[in-house]
Every structure is written in C-alpha cells, then in structure tokens.
C-alpha cells in the first residue's frame, strides 16, 4: 500500500495457530514488509493486563509473539517492531485523549457491553478494560497511522480511534492526528480440525509451534464417516477441505475423491504436509526462543525508533493544548 503508514498491534495471548497465521499474522507481515512508508507492528502487552495478571505468563507470551513474527518473516529493516510497554509516550497520550473521549463512546464498546449484559452490572469491569479503546487510539494516533490491519472483531476500536482523532482535530481546528482506517484482510475464518471455525475455545486448532508428533496426533483425530478406502469421497468432507487448505498434492487429492485412498492414509499425508510446511518456521522459532537476547535486542532497537515518532506527536499535541 503506497504512501500509507501501516500499524497493527498484537495481544500476547500465546499458542498461535493456523487460524491466527492466515487471518492475522501473515497479512500483517505482508502489508508491513511491502509498505513504502514506515510500518509498525507492536506487542500490546499493556492491553493484555486487563485480563492477564501472571507476570511469568505475560513475559513468556510476549516472547512467543515476537518469535512468531520474526520466524514468519517480519522484516525488521522495514518494520518498526516493539513492545507497547517500552513507549511511555503512548500512556501519556492516552491520558490526554481521555479528555476528548465521551464516556458514552466507551459504553458502546463491544467488549464492555458483552460483560455488562452477561453480569447485569459492570462492577467487575476494570478501568483497563473500560478504557481499552482509548489506549488503542493512542497506539494508533501516536504513530500517525493511516491503515490498521485488524480482524473484524477490532473494527469498532478503529472507528473509535477515528472518532477521538476527529473530535480532537475539530476542537482545535488543526489536523494534529491522521484519521486511521481499518483494513479487514480476512473475513472468512479458517476451519478447524472439527469443521467449526478454528479457535482456541473449540480446542480444534493446529498450533504453529507444537511438536510434529502432537500435530500428527491431532490430525489423526479429525472426524470422518465410515466410507471404505474404495468409496468415492465428497469434496465437502472436512478432510478434503483441510487437504486443500494445506495444498496436499493434487493428484493425491483426486485419487482420494475417486476412491483410491482410505481416511487413515489421507490423514497421515495431511499431517506430513502440515509438518513439512511448518518445519522451517518451527526451527527459526525454536532458535529464537533458545536465545531470547536476540529478541530483546530487536525489540529494544524498535522501541528507540518508535519512541522518537511518538515523542514528536506528543510534542505537537502538547503545543496545541497549551501544555
């Protein structure tokens, strides 16, 4: 995307799977690597705090996200890659933006509303969750981002960031902030090993960095009917759909459909195909995770660059505000 600043954040939630890879990780890397402007990808570890309270868990997940992006080809010469917590200017900007954010805007945010509806009150909603969209707006506006690649579930947050930016600009009659636009890359969800959407909550995921053995075991459990190897199979069958997603050899898949291959054999081939595909990435990932200082160095170099940009934005904002 030419002439556009791309930015996206990733919450460190851990155990990334194929659904995350195709739905979020690869599209973000692709956009960031091919931008002719600055692009930013960061680990939203402060955003995670509204739910995650275990420091070891948070640290481990942060390294995992970093190693995932790096092993799948994020080009750190083109993309500024950093941890949100390393950029204090973002939190300063969050405080300032609070004053241009109507409470009603937060009341309408999906995540907050969902809890309110479930519990019947908001007594257990912490302010981190309630103000989540303001922090997210600060992430985006601090870097003067144009395009924010996100999943559909984040669309409202980008709209809120745009609303806040616009309210500020209108109030001070100055284009201080760019108005960001969401970029919803992938609307179809990837199917999981049980035929439903691939999701951690369904326990039907193919994890990117599991062992080959664990991956195979999961694939062998894909549910099938009782057709014989010699029976013709449907292209609508789950196993066929999964073979297609992972580009199993075409003549093998034709043979499967015609009735030359049994389910057990097809699952073995599928597992092998998945493991072959993931092997080089797993290797890079494991190397990075074995020497985390590499990751630390990359993220701290990224933070230095990101901070310089955020500082500049904050300076402009403060001037406009009379601070």
Q: Which residues of the shown chain bind ligand TRP in the complex (CB under 6 A)?
A: 7-9, 11, 44, 47, 136, 139-140, 148, 150, 154, 157
**3-class SS at 142?**
helix
Query: CA 303 to CA 43: how far, in whole Å?
Result: 11
Pick the closer one to ligand TRP by CB: 184 or 220: 184
Query: CA 323 to CA 319: how far, in whole Å?
Result: 6
Pick the closer one to ligand TRP by CB: 106 or 150: 150
**3-class SS at 150?**
strand
Q: Find the shortest distance in angstroms from Cβ 237 to ligand TRP.
A: 33
Structure tokens at 60: 């481990």
Pick the closer one to ligand TRP by CB: 6 or 243: 6
Q: Which residue is nearest to ligand TRP (CB)?
A: 9
Pick the closer one to ligand TRP by CB: 70 or 150: 150
Pick the closer one to ligand TRP by CB: 145 or 273: 145
Q: What is the DSSP letter of 235?
A: T
Judging by DSSP bridges, how do beta strands 39-43 and 79-83 pair with one another?
A: parallel
Beta bridge partners of 149: 183
Q: Find the shortest distance in angstroms from Cβ 61 to ligand TRP.
A: 13
Q: Find the shortest distance in angstroms from Cβ 134 to ligand TRP.
A: 11
Structure tokens at 104: 């009603």
φ/ψ (deg, to 5) at 41: -130, 130
Pick the closer one to ligand TRP by CB: 31 or 136: 136
Pick the closer one to ligand TRP by CB: 136 or 206: 136
Query: CA 8 to CA 1: how far, in whole Å?
Result: 14
**3-class SS at 183?**
strand
Q: Find the shortest distance in angstroms from Cβ 141 to ligand TRP.
A: 10
Q: Is residue 6 left, alpha or beta, with left meaning phi > 0 and alpha meaning psi from -120 to 50?
A: beta
Q: Find the shortest distance in angstroms from Cβ 184 to ligand TRP.
A: 12
Query: Per residue in 52-69, is it b (16+ CB within 10 Å) or e — as a string?
Result: beeeeebeebbbbbbbbb
In angstroms, the first-to-last Cα distance of the chain is 36
Q: Find the shortest distance in angstroms from Cβ 282 to ligand TRP.
A: 24
Q: Find the shortest distance in angstroms from Cβ 321 to ligand TRP.
A: 23
């Amino acid at each position: 995307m030419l002439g556009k600043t791309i930015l996206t954040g990733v919450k460190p939630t851990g155990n990334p799977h194929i659904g995350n890879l195709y739905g979020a990780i690869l599209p973000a890397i692709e956009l960031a690597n091919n931008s002719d402007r600055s692009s930013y990808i960061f680990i939203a570890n402060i955003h995670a705090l509204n739910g995650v309270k275990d420091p070891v868990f948070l640290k481990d997940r942060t390294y995992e996200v970093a190693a995932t992006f790096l092993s799948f080809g994020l080009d750190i010469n083109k993309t500024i890659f950093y941890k949100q917590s390393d950029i204090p200017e973002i939190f300063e900007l969050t405080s300032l933006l609070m004053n241009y954010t109507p409470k009603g805007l937060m009341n309408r945010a999906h995540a907050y509303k969902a809890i309110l509806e479930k519990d019947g009150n908001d007594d257990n909603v912490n302010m981190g969750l309630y103000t989540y969209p303001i922090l997210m707006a600060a992430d985006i506006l601090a870097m003067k981002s144009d395009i924010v690649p996100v999943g559909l579930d984040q669309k409202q947050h980008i709209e809120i960031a745009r609303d806040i930016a616009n309210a500020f600009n209108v109030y001070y009659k100055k284009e201080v902030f760019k108005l960001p636009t969401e970029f919803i890359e992938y609307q179809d969800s990837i199917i999981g090993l049980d035929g439903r959407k691939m999701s951690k909550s369904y326990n039907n995921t193919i994890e990117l960095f599991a062992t080959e053995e664990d991956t195979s075991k999961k694939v062998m459990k894909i549910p099938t009917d009782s057709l014989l190897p010699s029976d013709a199979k449907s292209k609508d069958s789950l196993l066929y759909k999964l073979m297609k997603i992972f580009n199993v050899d075409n003549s093998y898949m034709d043979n499967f459909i015609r009735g030359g291959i049994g389910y057990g054999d097809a699952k073995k081939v599928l597992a092998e195909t998945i493991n072959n595909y993931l092997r080089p990435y797993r290797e890079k990932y494991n190397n990075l995770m074995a020497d985390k200082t590499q990751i630390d160095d990359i993220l701290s170099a990224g933070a230095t660059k990101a901070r310089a940009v955020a500082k500049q934005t904050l300076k402009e904002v403060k001037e406009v505000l009379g601070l």
